[in-house]
Amino acid sequence: MRSVLLTFLLGCLYQSSVLALQPSTQVRVSDLNSPWAVAWIDSEVVLITERPGRLLRIDLQTGTRQEVTGLPPIAAIGQGGLLDVAVDPQFSTNRWIYFSLTAGQGGQIGTELWRARLVNAELQELTRLFAMTPKSSGGRHFGSRIVFERDDLLWLTLGDRGDQDRAQRLDDHAGSVIRLHTDGRIPEDNPYRTVTGARPELFSIGHRNIQGAFRHPDTGALWTHEHGPQGGDELNLTQAGKNYGWPVITYGRNYGLGTPIGEGTEKPGMEQPKTIWVPSIAPSGMTYYTGNRLAQWTGQVFLGALRGQHLVRLQLDDSQRVIASERLFENKLGRIRDVRTGPDGGLYVLTDGPRGQLIEIVPEPSLVD
């Protein structure tokens, strides 16, 4: 716990520092209806999901916008709907895309992962790869981010569905990260595959609601962050077979009352976060910036804040510790829902709401939006 608190305090101090790089913004796409995720199919064309249930194909050079047809039924309830989208690493030859959504019947819904071939603006060979089990009522805490481990393996993050005790159950997908082959098969080396009664898709457990994730390009490790209750948002180095504690340990508090949750902030056998946010910032999409347009920031982590309405910059050292934190664009862009590194080397954010935008972060003050 001491190392987590030290990292948190160092980050708070660093926020007041002055950057050599003064960023500004340029709007690339506007008039989006509650966008949730963005992914590139080539250097000029993006896919953007809108949570109410629309997938858009947009050419950033011409502004041409097409609605992609062929989506499966979607239950857009509460925080649910059409969520993440990811493009296969071999898309240029196989045309596969992957997307997560919420679906179900009779009020029982949950997160699902689907795959399809994208042909122009049409989905073909649609296949459901995974469905959260069991499904449940309510419209909270679905996750979900899709991250490729390698060409034939991916991770999908899942929320606890607002039923916190489910995150500690091995016979339940809620509050976990799952790991699958890109065709839906369960990997032989998944950590819980041979555990009696456990869901074989599980990769890690004890998560509240993960809405940001990336694969570190140098180490191959999965990094995630999750929403805490009234404080206690976490950044985690997420490893196979590990338990991240929710709701047994947390730095958050019960809403309204401010009373402790669980057994405290640490317990043997449960992992500590790399950093925390108190009060909550409501973290969203996250990227490890590998681009070169903002060269001073290459190799740093960026994530959006819904509640705080800002962009967070984190610096990691060689020991995978957070050694610096900074808040950018506070109350200037709105609720940031997703953050991505573009194939052109740019850093992009997607803002939430009925008039959402795709915005590029640029170093030139002359391009201030």
Angle at 82 between CA 78 and CA 83, to 5 degrees: 90
Residues recorded for the chain: 369
Q: Please report which confidence band the pLDDT of residue 364 belongs to, taking 50, 70 and 90 as the band edges.
A: low
Per-residue pLDDT of 61-72, as tens digits, reads 999 999 999 999
Annotated active-site residue in 141, 173, 207, 227: 141
Instruction: Indicate the pairing of strand 82-87 with strand 65-67.
Output: unpaired
Those residues whose C-beta lies under 8 Å from the C-beta of residue 106, and which sit 6 or more positions away, are none
252 vs 8, more confident = 252
Q: Which of 236, 209, 218, 201 is nearest to 83 (CA)?
A: 209
Percent of the residues in the chain that have a pLDDT greater than 70, as a whole number: 92
Residue extents of the structural domains in the chain? 2-367
Measured CA to CA, the distance from residue 191 to residue 200 in angstroms comes to 8
Prediction pTM value: 0.93
Per-residue pLDDT of 2-14, as tens digits, reads 455 545 444 444 4
Do 349 and 361 contact (CB within 8 A), yes or no?
yes
pLDDT of residue 257: 87
Question: DSSP labels for 155-208?
Answer: EEE---TT-GGGGG-TT--TTEEEEEETTSPPPTT-TTTTSTTS-TTEEEE--S
Lowest mean pLDDT among 13-22, 204-213, 247-256, 279-288: 13-22
Mean pLDDT over 250-254 rounds to 95
Q: Which of 74, 141, 88 is nearest to 117 (CA)?
A: 88
Mean pLDDT over 52-64 rounds to 97
Does CATH place domain 2-367 in 2.60.40.10? no
Q: Please report which confidence band the pLDDT of residue 367 belongs to, taking 50, 70 and 90 as the band edges.
A: very low
* Catalytic annotation present for 141: yes
Per-residue pLDDT of 340-356, as tens digits, reads 999 999 999 999 999 99
Mean pLDDT over 257-266 rounds to 93
